[in-house]
Amino acid sequence: MNNLKIAIQKKGRLNEPSKKFLASLGLRFFDDDKKLSIICKNKAVDIIKMRDNDIPKYVSQSIVDFGIVGLDVLKESGQRVKVVQKLDFCGCKLVIAVPSGSAIKSTKDLEGERIATSYPNILKAFLRRKGISSEVVVVEGSVELAPYLKAADAVCDITQTGSTLKQFNLVPIKTILKSQAVFIESPTLKQNKELLEAML
């Protein structure tokens, strides 16, 4: 019950790199896809698998001690936790993109336009900083479809290689956030010096 708890993404692109990172710290464990928790064989550590959107909340509330999550997910959550370390894997960018041939060429042209996104908090904060008034259309799933379906004039979405944007004939006009996996810490963590030294 007193084991240190580390949350990682249950499935998705952060899952395997997160497990490799934890293994690089000397943690020995065997993963079973059917189980939501992994008990390490050589340390008093439990690895908990959960939805990435839940990780910042569980860490901020000290339900788990550490978490590995995308910086984009952390920023969107609004949870205040300490970023112990940037992990240099799963890099991506949150960009605003518009259809090729659109009259929107820069961020100032977004005034009065509709922007589809699954990152409304980050996008709204960006628009406030720039003094731009746009309609934020919250979409879950394939954000890139919104301009094709005439549901939005632009999108704000994560891109890694740009291939999905090209597939939907979308062109990036602004990078809002450069993201990567980060290691976050509970605000009331009971310090485990050995593990912290290994991570730092």
Report the pLDDT value the prediction gives residue 190, as an integer from 0 to 100: 59
Confidence label for 32 from pLDDT (cuts 50, 70 and 90): confident
Q: What pLDDT does 187 receive?
A: 84
Superfamily of domain 4-90+180-199: Periplasmic binding protein-like II (3.40.190.10)
Domain ranges of the chain: 4-90+180-199, 92-179
Can you give the pTM of this predicted structure? 0.88
Mean pLDDT (whole number) for 33-58:
91
CATH number of this structure's domain 92-179, picked from the four choices 1.10.10.10, 3.20.20.80, 3.30.70.20, 3.40.190.10: 3.40.190.10
Higher pLDDT, 33 or 54: 54
The average pLDDT across 143-159 equals: 94
Name every residue whose Cβ is closer than 8 Å to that of residue 113 and which is 6 or more positions away in sequence.
104, 134, 135, 153, 154
